[in-house]
């Protein structure tokens, strides 16, 4: 089959200027996902080509200068979950999953359709977008959420191999490949897995500190869960549990330790003398005074009242 018959092509060039943006919104929902908030647009024009690359999809997009925000509402109105791998040939800014980084030409970034996304492309976007099924990503990456939003620099150890691989995967290349699609797809997955392994190793200490700091900040919420901490950090709950487990910790024990430390500090501080033991238990996040008393006794050998009196 000729290459041009395998490529879908969408362009706003032949449309009146007043119709171009609405046309692009309909194509965006069809090929990628909804993005409702746009600004900084001048002389709006878009050109998009796409072709199947085995189980992946190769898309080449050219769009003028713009700033876009994919909101939580956009996420909730999206179709099936997927990942997108972006490789812009121009400088731009991407904020996703707690990361906010500047990308140089040739750098890549993995984006999860279940997360909000902000992009700022003052020179426009001209590059490739590879659509990746979740099942394929998870077959290569144990924890893709740790890589999502992080900059894969073109001059890094694995980036020097990955950037040229991605840059050649144009729709024209996908429609008339020199090798079977399976070989090309596996090559992307193998190098992406190497990158993810390095990122995970580097991210663990930093993630642990962020999780512990967040637990400390939110510990006074009596119904606090790992989901709440994950949401505050832009991480799935299972990543919170995994990072803690990798350091021989559990969410429950970490939360209890932090609440106990807060409560003991309140018991010893004269600025809290006006509070009863029950009020201190409540403010420290404990669900019941009896549980609070049990925790204090286990840590100090005294009841909360005794400990407060002895520390004066």
Helix segments in the chain, DSSP class H: 17-31, 72-76, 134-140, 159-167, 171-175, 181-218, 226-233, 237-246, 251-268, 277-283, 289-300, 304-310
In a domain, 214, yes or no: no
Q: Are residues 192 and 225 in the same domain?
A: no
Name the domain boundary from 202, 233, 262: 202
Q: Are residues 51 and 185 in the same domain?
A: yes
Q: Is the pLDDT of residue 194 over 60?
A: yes
Question: What range defines the domain where residue 287 resides?
Answer: 219-312
Q: Are residues 134 and 25 in the same domain?
A: yes
Rounded to whole angstroms, the Cα distance separating 59 from 127 reads: 8
Q: Are residues 228 and 302 in the same domain?
A: yes
Q: Are residues 272 and 190 in the same domain?
A: no
Do residues 60 and 171 make contact, with C-beta atoms less than 8 angstroms apart?
A: yes
Q: To 10 degrees, the CA torsion angle through 129, 135, 137, 143?
A: 140
In a domain, 114, yes or no: yes
Q: Is the pLDDT of residue 40 over 90?
A: no
Question: Region 42-71: what's the mean pLDDT?
Answer: 94
| CATH number of the domain encompassing residue 223 | 1.10.10.60
Q: What pLDDT is recorded for position 3?
A: 42
Do residues 33 and 13 make contact, with C-beta atoms less than 8 angstroms apart?
A: no
Rounded CA Rg of the chain: 25
Closest of 160, 223, 233 to residue 191, by C-alpha = 160
Q: Are residues 20 and 107 in the same domain?
A: yes
Question: What distance lies between CA 208 and its chain's CA centroid?
Answer: 16
Query: Is residue 185 very low, low, confident or very high in pLDDT (cuts 50, 70, 90)?
Result: very high
Q: What pLDDT is recorded for position 246?
A: 76
Beta-carbon contacts of residue 10 (< 8 Å; ≥ 6 apart): 27, 31, 46, 47, 48, 49
pLDDT, tens digit, for every residue of 236-257? 888 888 888 878 889 999 999 9
Q: Are residues 102 and 46 in the same domain?
A: yes
Q: Is the pLDDT of residue 95 over 70?
A: yes
Q: Is the pLDDT of residue 181 over 60?
A: yes
C-alpha dihedral sign at 186, 188, 191, 193: negative
In a domain, 287, yes or no: yes
Paired strand residues for 62: 47, 126
Rounded to whole angstroms, the Cα distance separating 212 from 109 reads: 27
Q: Are residues 81 and 171 in the same domain?
A: yes
In a domain, 190, yes or no: yes
In a domain, 211, yes or no: no
Q: Are residues 31 and 147 in the same domain?
A: yes
Q: Are residues 83 and 135 in the same domain?
A: yes
Q: Are residues 243 and 195 in the same domain?
A: no
Rounded to whole angstroms, the Cα distance separating 147 from 197 reads: 9
pLDDT, tens digit, for every residue of 220-232? 998 999 999 999 9
In a domain, 256, yes or no: yes
Q: Are residues 120 and 198 in the same domain?
A: yes
Q: What pLDDT is recorded for position 200?
A: 78
Rounded to whole angstroms, the Cα distance separating 91 from 15 reads: 28
Name the domain boundary from 202, 227, 243: 202
Q: What pLDDT is recorded for position 218?
A: 96
Rounded to whole angstroms, the Cα distance separating 195 from 152 reads: 8
Q: Quick one: DSSP state of residue 37?
A: E
Rounded to whole angstroms, the Cα distance separating 260 from 299 reads: 9
In a domain, 212, yes or no: no
In a domain, 94, yes or no: yes
Axis-axis angle for helices 237-246, 181-218 (nearest 10): 80
Q: Is the pLDDT of residue 154 over 70?
A: yes
Rounded to whole angstroms, the Cα distance separating 106 from 269 reads: 56
pLDDT, tens digit, for every residue of 282-298? 999 998 999 999 999 99
End-to-end CA distance of the chain: 86
Q: Report the domain count for the chain.
A: 2
Give the residue with greater pLDDT, 152 vs 234. Answer: 152
For the chain, give the percent of residues with pLDDT over 70.
98
| CATH number of the domain encompassing residue 152 | 2.60.120.10
Q: What pLDDT is recorded for position 41?
A: 85
């Amino acid at each position: 089959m000729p290459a041009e018959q395998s490529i879908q092509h969408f362009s706003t060039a032949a449309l009146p200027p007043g119709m171009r943006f609405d046309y692009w919104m309909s194509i965006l929902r069809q090929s990628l996902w909804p993005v409702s908030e746009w600004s900084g647009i001048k002389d709006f024009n878009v050109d998009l080509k796409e072709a199947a690359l085995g189980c992946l999809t190769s898309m080449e997009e050219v769009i003028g200068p713009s700033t876009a925000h994919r909101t939580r509402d956009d996420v909730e109105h999206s179709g099936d979950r997927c990942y997108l791998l972006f490789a812009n040939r121009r400088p731009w800014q991407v904020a996703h999953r707690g990361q906010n980084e500047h990308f140089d030409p040739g750098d890549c970034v993995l984006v999860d359709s279940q997360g909000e996304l902000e992009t700022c492309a003052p020179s426009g976007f001209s590059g490739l977008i590879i659509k990746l099924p979740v099942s394929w990503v998870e077959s290569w990456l144990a924890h893709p959420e740790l890589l999502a939003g992080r900059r894969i620099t073109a001059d890094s150890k694995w980036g020097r191999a990955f950037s040229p691989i991605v840059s050649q995967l144009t729709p024209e290349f996908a429609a008339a490949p020199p090798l079977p699609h399976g070989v090309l797809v596996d090559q992307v997955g193998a190098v992406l897995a190497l990158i993810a392994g390095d990122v995970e190793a580097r991210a663990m200490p930093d993630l642990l500190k962020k999780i512990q700091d967040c637990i400390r900040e939110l510990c006074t919420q009596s119904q606090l869960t790992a989901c709440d901490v994950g949401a505050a950090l832009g991480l799935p709950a299972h990543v919170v549990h995994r990072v803690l487990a990798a350091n021989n910790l559990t969410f429950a024990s970490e939360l209890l330790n932090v609440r106990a430390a807060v409560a003991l500090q309140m018991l010893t501080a004269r600025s809290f003398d006006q509070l009863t033991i029950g009020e201190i238990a409540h403010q420290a996040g404990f669900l019941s005074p009896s549980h609070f008393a049990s925790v204090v006794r286990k840590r100090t050998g005294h009841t909360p009242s005794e400990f407060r009196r002895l520390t004066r």
